[in-house]
Amino acid sequence: MDKLAAQTHQQVLYPSELVAGRQTGALRGAFTPQEALSRLLVGSDIEVTRTQEGVLVLRRAQPAPASPSTPPARDIDSSARSVPPESGRVGLESSSSSVDAAASAPELIAEVTVIGSLIRGVTDTPSPVLILDRTQIERSGYTTVAAALAALPQNFAGSVNEGLNNNGGERQGSNSHFGSGLNLRGLGSDATLVLVNGRRMGGAGSNAEFADISTIPTAAIERVELLLDGASALYGADAVGGVVNIILKKRFEGAETRLSSGIATAGEPSEFQFAQTFGRSWSGGGGLISYEYYQRDRLRSADREIARDADLRRLGGSDQRSNFAYPGNILRLDPVTGANAPYWAIPVDQDGTSLGPDDFTPGTVNLRNQRLGVDVLPHQERHSLYATARQALTERIELSGDVRYGRRKYEAASSTNTGLISVSRANPFFVSPNGAASHSIQYAFAELPNARAAGLAESLGISLGLDADLWGDWRAEVYGAYAREIGRSNNTGLLNTIAVGEALGLSPDRPDTPYSPALDGYFNPFTGRPANSDVVLGYIGGGYQKIRNRGVVRSLNIKADGSLLTLPAGSIKLALGAQHREEGFTRGGVNYTTSVAPIPLASVDVARKVDAGFAELRIPLFDEANRRSGMERLELSLAGRLERYSDFGWTGNPKVGALWSPVQGLLIRASYGRSFRAPALRELSDPASNSSSLLPSGAARIGTLIQSGGNPDLDPETADSYTVGFELAPRRLSGLRLGFNWFDIRFKDRIDRPVQANIQTALDDANVSTFVRRISPATNAADRALIAALLADPATRTVLGPPEAYGAIVDSRYVNTASLRVSGIDLSAAYEHAFGDDVVAISGAASHLYRYEQTVTPTSAPVDLVGIATYPLDWRARGTLDWRRGALGAGASVNYTSAYQDALGAPIDAMTTFDLQLRFQAPSGSPLAGLSATLNIRNLFDKRPPFYDNTSGVAYDTANGDPIGRFMSLQLTKAW
C-alpha cells in the first residue's frame, strides 16, 4: 500500500485491522491508481473507492443488499490509516513486521484533517474543495507553486502578481516587492486566506494585507488544498473568497535532488532551480529538511513586441505614448477651469541655447514612448529552507515542529522620471512662446537613466505543537505559531525636487546644498537633444527612497475533536477550540526626493490582539446503516466563530451546510456562510499624505491634489456566501468523476479607495463624484484658501506649482463604501482508464462568472464588470490529456480564456494555448533507478495575448495575459 501511494502520489486510507496479516503479490504494468489497487485486492473482501481527488479509501466489501434497508457498511473507523505518498514502504505485508511499521509511521485517519472542516476523518465537506498534489503541480509545467496556482481557472491574477507592477496593472500599489498573491473569485488578494500547514502567514506588501507565496519551496510541497467558499466560521478573518492551505511534507525517507532549467524561445527570461531534500524516520518519529534555490532573469520590454512601444497603432490600436515627453511640452492654463493642456512642443534636435518665440508652433505636442528601458518582469533570486520533525513522547502524546524560511531578491528597471516642472526667467535658457514670465512643462528626464527598483522579501514561519489522545476517539492539539514577512525596497535614480528646483533657478543658490547653479550650471529644459552636463544630471537624479515593512502574526491555538454520541447513521462529531492571535505592522524608511538631505519617512507601528472561540458540529442523519430510498446519505454541518478585536470590537460568523446522496455515486452539497475581513492595520492608521498629479478630464489635464491615508473608523467587510453543487461518480463507469458547483458571494462594506482604483478617469466618472471636489483658486477666494492650506501641510509631498495650478481635490482615503456581488459556476471532469499497458487520463476544469457586479458607493448604480479588461473574465478553463506506459509518459493541456471587451466596448479576442509534457521514469532495478526526467513546453505555438488597446502602453491586458510566450524547461529528479 505504501509503495503504491508513493508511486501514484495518492493518499490511501484504510482501517488498520482491514489489512492486518494479509499479503498480496507484485503488480507490474500500467494502471490507474484505483485500478492498481483493485487488482491487488482481487479475491479479497476489500474494495476501493475514491472520495475526492488524490484520496483513495479501502473498506470491507458487503454483499449486495436484499433491500434498501440492508445497506453495505461504509464508515471508516477511528483506527484507519493514511499513508502519505512519501512514506517509502514496500508491499502489502503482514502487520507483524515491526521494521516496516516503524519506517512507515502511518497516520491514523482520525489525525487527517482536510480543509473545510476542523474534524479529523472528514473526507468531504459541504463546501467545494480542490486538491492539487505534487504530481499535478509538476505536470502543470510551472516551476513555482505561485505560478501553478495563478493558472487555476478559479484564481484571478489581476490583483497581486509581479507582472502588474511595471505595466500599469497594479492599481492599489500594495505589491511593492514584486510578490505573488492569490485572489480566488476576483474578490481581492486580501479576501483569500492563505495557510501553510494550517498556519497563517504574515502580511506582505506595503499594506501587509496579502500572503506572498513566492518564497515557498516547490520541492517541499505535498499538496495544496483550496476551499472555494467563504469560511470565516472555521478559520477567522480574510476567508471571504476562500482558503488555500499549502501542505508541506512531514514524512520523507531518503534523499531527493532536483534540477530544472528553462528559457523562453523568444529570448529572455531564463530560469534555473535546484532543490535538495533529506528525510529520515526513526522509532516514534522522523524529520526532513529541504532547500531550494530559484533564479529567473528579467524580461525587458524591448524583448516583446507587445511591450516595447506605447504607439499601438502598428497593432491596430491607438497612440498611447505620453505627453510627458523629451523634448517637453509647454502647457497653457485656463484660469477658469484650471485645465492644463500641452500647447507648444519644444522643438527637437537643438541644444536649447538659441530658441526664440517664433520657433514654437501652437497646437503641437511631443510624445514619448514610456516603455523604453522598462523591465516587464524583474530579475528574481530566491533561497528557501524548510525543516520539520516529530517525536512521540508517550503512547498518547506527540511533539512536532517546523521552520520555514525564504529570502527573495528582486531588481527591475522602472520607467523614465517624468514631472511637471516650472521654469521662469531666472533660468538663463528660458524662452516663452507668448511672452509669459514663467511656464509649466510636461517633461521626461530622458537624459537620466531609468529609475530602478530593487529590494528583498523575507518570509519566516515557525510552529511548535503537541498532539494528545484524550479519551475515546477525542484528540487535542495545542500549538504556537509565529510568522513574519519583511520587505525592503531601495528605489534609486529618482528625481530630487529640491535639486530640480535649484537647478532650474526657481530658488536662489541654496547654502545648505553643495550645488551652485552659477558654478555648476543650470538645468536646461528646452533642449531637443542631450545637452545637459553630467554634473547637473547627477545632482537632480540622485534621489532615492528606502522603505522597510514588517508584518508579524503570533498565535496560541488549542483545538479538540471527537464523538459526542452515536446515532443510527453514525457518530455526531464535534470540534471546538480557541485562539489568541497578535498581529503587528511596522514601516519605516528614508526619503531623499523632497529635501536637501535624507529624512525619515513617517513611521507606522500598529498592532492588534484577537481572541476567538469556535466550534463545528457534524450530524449524520442517514448513511448505509439506516439508508432508505432517496436517502443513501444525509449529513448536516454547523459551525460558528466568535472573535474580539482589540481595535474595533466583536464579530460573529456562522456557517451551515449539508451533504445528501439520493443514490449511490451522486453526492449533492450545499452551504451558506457569513465571512469577514478585518481592516488591515495600515488601512486603519496609515499617516495622512497628499500628492499632486495631472489627471485627464476630456482632452485636458487638471492639476489635482490627491489625499491619501488611513481611517480609524473603518468597520469590517462582510460577505454572505452560498454554494450548491454535486459530484457524480458512477459505479458502472469506474474512474469517471463529474463535478458542478454554483456560488453566489455578496460582499458589502468593502474597504476601498474608489478613486485610486480608476484614478485616470476619476475626474469624469460620475460613480466617484462624491470623492472629487472641483475648485477654481483663480476666481474663488475660498477655494484658493483651501488649496493653499493643503499645499502648505507637511503631509503634502509633491507640488505642481502655485494654488492657481490646481483645479480639483480628490479624496483617496480608505472608506467602507463599496459592495460586490460575484456569481458563477465551476465545472470539473476526470476519467482514467487502462488500455492494456497504456493508461490514459482525461481531466478538465472550468470556471464561469456571469456576475461581477460592483457598486462603488451606496448611491451609485451597480456596474457589471465581468468580461471587462483588467477584471475577471466570463470563462477560464483548462483541460488535460495524459498518457503513460511503463517508464514513459506524455501529457497535453489546453488553456482557454473567453473573449471580452475593454471599458469602451472594443472587443478583445478569446485565447487558446496548448502545453506539452514528455516524461521518463527509470524502472526500479535499472542502473538509473530513482531518476526521472520531464520536458515541459508551455504555450506550444508561442501565441501572444490578445490585443488590448491598453492606456499604459502595453498591447495586452496585464491582469489576464502572459507576455512570456513559449517557454521550454527540463527537470531532472533523482531519488536516493
**pLDDT tens string 359-394:** 999 999 999 999 999 999 999 999 999 999 999 999
Give the Cα separation of 779 and 369 in Å (integer): 37
Question: DSSP H helical segments within 705-767, as ranges?
Answer: 754-757
Query: What was the pLDDT predicted at 600?
Result: 92
Identify whether the C-beta of residue 969 lies closer than 8 Å to the C-beta of residue 260.
Answer: yes
- Amino acid of residue 957: D
Give the Cα separation of 160 and 164 in Å (integer): 7
Query: What was the pLDDT predicted at 759?
Result: 81
- For the segment 501-532, what is each residue's pLDDT rounded down to a tens digit? 999 998 888 899 999 999 999 999 999 999 99
Q: Which of 241, 161, 146 is nearest to 193 (CA)?
A: 241
Query: What was the pLDDT predicted at 617?
Result: 97
Residues of the chain with pLDDT under 70: 1-11, 13-21, 25-35, 38-39, 42-43, 49-55, 59-113, 171-173, 334-339
Q: Which of 199, 200, 208, 155 is nearest to 179 (CA)?
A: 208
Does the N-terminal peptide bond of residue 568 adopt cis geometry, omega within 30 degrees of 0? no
Query: Between β-strands 242-248 and 192-196, what pairing exists: parallel, antiparallel or unpaired?
Result: parallel
- Amino acid of residue 839: V
Q: What are residue 585's DSSP bridge partners?
A: 551, 606
All three cell numbers of 151, joined, read: 493558472
Query: What was the pLDDT predicted at 713?
Result: 86
CB burial of residue 512 (10 Å; 0-12, 13-18, 19+): exposed
Identify whether the C-beta of residue 902 lies closer than 8 Å to the C-beta of residue 869.
Answer: yes
Give the Cα separation of 906 and 357 in Å (integer): 42
What phi and psi values does residue 478 have, to the nearest 5 degrees? -130, 130
Identify whether the C-beta of residue 107 lies closer than 8 Å to the C-beta of residue 475.
Answer: no
Q: What proportions of the chain, in percent to the nearest 5, are helix, strand and coil?
A: 10, 45, 40
Query: What was the pLDDT predicted at 100?
Result: 31
Cα–Cα distance list, 274 to 258, 260, 411, 544, 855 (Å)? 6, 6, 21, 34, 47
Does the N-terminal peptide bond of residue 347 adopt cis geometry, omega within 30 degrees of 0? no
Query: What was the pLDDT predicted at 753?
Result: 82
All three cell numbers of 940, joined, read: 506550444
Q: How many helices and strands (H and E) does the chain possess?
A: 13, 46
Q: What are residue 828's DSSP bridge partners?
A: 739, 845
Give the Cα separation of 912 and 943 in Å (integer): 8
Identify whether the C-beta of residue 105 lies closer than 8 Å to the C-beta of residue 281.
Answer: yes
Predicted model pTM: 0.85
Query: What was the pLDDT predicted at 25?
Result: 65
Sign of CA dihedral 867, 871, 876, 878: positive
DSSP state of 393: S
Q: What are residue 637's DSSP bridge partners?
A: 618, 657
DSSP 3-state of 101 = helix
Give the Cα separation of 9 and 32 in Å (integer): 12
CB burial of residue 26 (10 Å; 0-12, 13-18, 19+): exposed
Query: What was the pLDDT predicted at 10?
Result: 64
DSSP 3-state of 645 = strand
Query: Between β-strands 267-282 and 329-333, what pairing exists: parallel, antiparallel or unpaired?
Result: unpaired
Helix (H) or strand (E) holding 145: helix 145-150
Cell numbers 496593472: residue: 169
How many Cα atoms are found within 13 Å in the side-chain-facing hemisphere of 485? 27
Give the Cα separation of 880 and 476 in Å (integer): 41
